[in-house]
């Protein structure tokens, strides 16, 4: 898009339904104050939970109530800021919401220590006589699994209070790169200037057929990050230090074990993924060479990875994209498809139009009692349609979990989050590859799959996971994390990943870490790769028309956190404790590459 509109000029039809949550900022402010006023009543339950099953249930319900209110208030502020980071009012709301969330976290921190004090034997006895309390069995079992890492009530309160200050590095980075960064314009081969923004960099400029646009946009974007490399490195280093602090405070032997322990994930899952990725790099090297030849380049570079091979981009209006996605998901039943369609076309789940100040990327976000909203920049191309399908997977996962689970299980772990999103994309591609004959469209579709989705999830994310592991291990050893050391490490990992036939601009490619806010959520990125693996294994079951495959998958979506992530996936038909699903997904990707090679000759 050559012209990005201000937020005030965006058609309301394509904005999130903010008024369904709070009718005005004044109502939001009132809700925040009311939630803070609930804190003294919460503290009255402290020290009394062990008196009886009824006292425990009453205390838990009060904690859930204030936690739910805090979730909605926090979500509203974050979403309002994400769609317009230049909105100072929204930025102020985020600050207030974070402060409120920190106070609530500290106020409710007595729950787990008191549950541990009551003891598992007593809780089991109480659950036999109180059906409402019995609903918390999985939650209690998980707490006692983690008992060795739960500290005293006083320490837990202090750890709860760290949530607000520890979010500082992430917030500082977000404000810097999304609100303060002003990028030099890109230029096309005729010298015409094109604006570079967070909302059009990945979704439009890197996919431009004009190599001059891609290169100048890439250089502009990364040069701005390089200009502030020391600040960005200091922020990431501070975030990693916070992870090391929490690891030691909770008595884990490493940050990796601390992060994976929360979801009961064996460390072997992480290492199996990395080892399989390294083993399968020749598949990627083959793809990069096919793409280089198709683009008729002497040397292919990082910024060429999204370059279109198809001679003409398909234009897919938002409503048509919803049609394609809905049609592909018919095997999941009428109720699923109708809910998805209404969310997109009637209930305004999706904030889809690019605008100035809109945050880069896309995400799904909500809370029980709200819609599962989506923030993205829809540009009418196959990649945007795929992103919409992806985020709708998240939203339908949330919708069905909220509909079928009590508040205690209304979330789901990051480990399973990327399964539902990639599942939708896998189903959409299978449907379109089967039903569309246009060669140009098919090339574009496969390009989106490999250069867009798989390149991000099965190439960049494993590399970032290796980067994350190494930086955390260095911090654990007390080694400094400087801007130059981070750049060198990132450049080395991408050089190995790309292989000898891809040209590497080391300073700029080395700054890629600073463009992924995911690194502020410790050990998140590897889960993109395990998620896409689980997604393709589950979608393959449905596409092969295995008995109960669709029902098993819907059961996965409805389960929330009512069981451990690996168990929820096993119940749906995929075991991620082995490398089978990862191997199967690499085979599917290789099939796409084979088909692409045939299409481009």
Q: Which residues are catalytic?
A: 391
For 210-225, give the DSSP string.
-HHHHHHHHHHHHHHH
Contact between 31 and 381 (Cβ < 8 Å): no
The token pair at 323 is: 């049609």
DSSP state for residue 451 in the 8-state scheme: I
Q: Could you tell me where the DSSP H helices lie in 44-192?
A: 53-83, 88-107, 111-118, 120-129, 131-134, 137-145, 153-161, 163-166, 168-174
Strand pairing report for 373-375 and 300-301 = unpaired
Between CA 546 and CA 563 the distance in angstroms is 24
Burial 173-184 (b: 16+ CB within 10 A, else e): bbebbbbebebe
DSSP secondary structure string for all residues of 539-572:
HHHHHTT-TTHHHHHHHHHHHTTSS-HHHHHHHH
SS3 133: helix
Give the alpha-carbon dihedral of 562, 568, 572, 573, to 10 degrees.
-160
Q: Residue-wise over 308-337: b if at least 16 C-beta within 10 A, else e?
A: bbbeebbebebeebbebbbebbebbeeebb
Write the DSSP symbol of residue 68: H
- The three-state secondary structure class of 193 is strand
- Cα–Cα distance, 459 to 450 (Å, whole number): 10
Closest to 13 (Cα-Cα) out of 315, 319, 361: 319
Greatest pairwise CA separation for the chain in angstroms: 77
Q: Any bridge partners for residue 374, and if so which?
A: 350, 364
Helix 229-249 and helix 153-161, axial crossing angle in degrees, nearest 10: 170
SS3 category, 347? coil
Task: Find tokens 């008024």 and name the residue.
Answer: 19
Question: What distance in Å separates the CA atoms of residue 362 and residue 391, rounded to the nearest whole number?
Answer: 7
Q: In what order do the strands lie in the sheet with 373-375?
A: 350-351, 373-375, 363-365
């Amino acid at each position: 898009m050559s012209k990005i509109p201000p937020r005030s000029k965006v058609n309301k039809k394509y904005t999130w339904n903010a008024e369904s949550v709070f009718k005005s900022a004044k109502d939001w402010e009132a809700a925040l104050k009311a939630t803070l006023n609930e804190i003294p009543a919460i503290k009255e339950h402290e020290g009394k939970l062990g008196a009886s099953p009824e006292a425990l249930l009453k205390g838990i319900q009060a904690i859930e109530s204030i936690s739910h209110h805090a979730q909605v208030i926090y979500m509203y502020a974050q979403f309002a800021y994400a769609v317009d980071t230049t909105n100072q009012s929204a930025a102020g709301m985020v600050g207030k919401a974070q402060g409120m969330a920190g106070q609530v976290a500290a106020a409710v921190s007595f729950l787990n220590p008191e549950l541990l004090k009551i003891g598992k034997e007593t809780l089991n006895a109480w659950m036999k006589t109180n059906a409402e309390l019995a609903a918390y069995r999985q939650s209690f079992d998980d707490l006692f699994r983690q008992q060795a890492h739960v500290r005293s009530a006083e320490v837990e309160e202090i750890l709860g209070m760290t949530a607000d200050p520890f979010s500082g590095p992430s917030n500082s980075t977000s404000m810097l790169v999304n609100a303060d960064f002003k990028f030099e314009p890109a230029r096309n081969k005729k010298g015409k200037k094109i604006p570079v923004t967070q909302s059009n960099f990945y979704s439009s400029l890197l996919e431009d057929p004009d190599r001059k646009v891609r290169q100048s946009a890439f250089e502009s974007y990364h040069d701005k990050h390089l200009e502030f490399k020391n600040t960005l490195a200091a922020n990431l280093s501070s975030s990693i230090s916070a992870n090391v602090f929490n690891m030691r405070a909770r008595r884990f032997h490493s940050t990796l074990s601390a992060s994976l322990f929360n979801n009961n994930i064996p460390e072997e899952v992480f290492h199996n993924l990395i080892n399989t990725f390294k083993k399968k790099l020749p598949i990627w090297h083959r793809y990069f060479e096919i793409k280089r030849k198709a683009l008729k380049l002497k040397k292919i570079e990082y910024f060429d990875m999204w370059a279109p091979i198809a001679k003409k981009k398909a234009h897919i209006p938002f409503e048509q994209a919803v049609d394609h996605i809905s049609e592909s998901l018919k095997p999941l039943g009428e109720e699923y498809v109708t809910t998805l369609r209404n969310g997109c076309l009637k209930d305004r789940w999706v904030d889809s139009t690019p605008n100035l100040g809109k945050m880069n990327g896309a995400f799904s976000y909500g809370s029980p009692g709200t819609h599962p909203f989506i923030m993205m920049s829809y540009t009418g191309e196959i990649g945007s349609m795929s992103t919409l399908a992806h985020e709708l997977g998240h939203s339908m996962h949330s919708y069905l979990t909220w509909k079928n689970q009590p508040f205690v299980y209304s979330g789901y772990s990051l480990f399973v989050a990327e399964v539902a999103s990639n599942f939708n994309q896998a189903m959409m591609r299978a449907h379109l590859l089967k039903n569309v004959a246009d060669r140009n469209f098919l090339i574009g579709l496969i390009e989106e799959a490999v250069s867009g989705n798989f390149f991000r999830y099965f190439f960049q994310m494993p590399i970032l996971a290796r980067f994350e592991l190494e930086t955390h291990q260095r911090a654990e050893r007390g080694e400094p994390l400087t801007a130059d050391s981070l750049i060198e490490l990132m450049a080395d990992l991408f050089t190995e990943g790309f292989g000898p036939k891809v040209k590497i601009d080391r300073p700029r490619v080395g700054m890629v870490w600073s463009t992924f806010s995911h690194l502020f959520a410790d050990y998140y990125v590897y889960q993109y790769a395990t998620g896409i693996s689980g997604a393709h294994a589950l979608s393959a079951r449905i596409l092969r028309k295995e008995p109960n495959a669709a029902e098993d998958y819907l059961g996965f979506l409805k389960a929330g956190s009512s069981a451990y992530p690996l168990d929820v996936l096993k119940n749906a038909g995929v075991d991620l404790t082995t490398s089978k699903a990862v191997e199967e997904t690499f085979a599917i990707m290789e099939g796409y590459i084979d088909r692409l090679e045939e299409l481009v000759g």
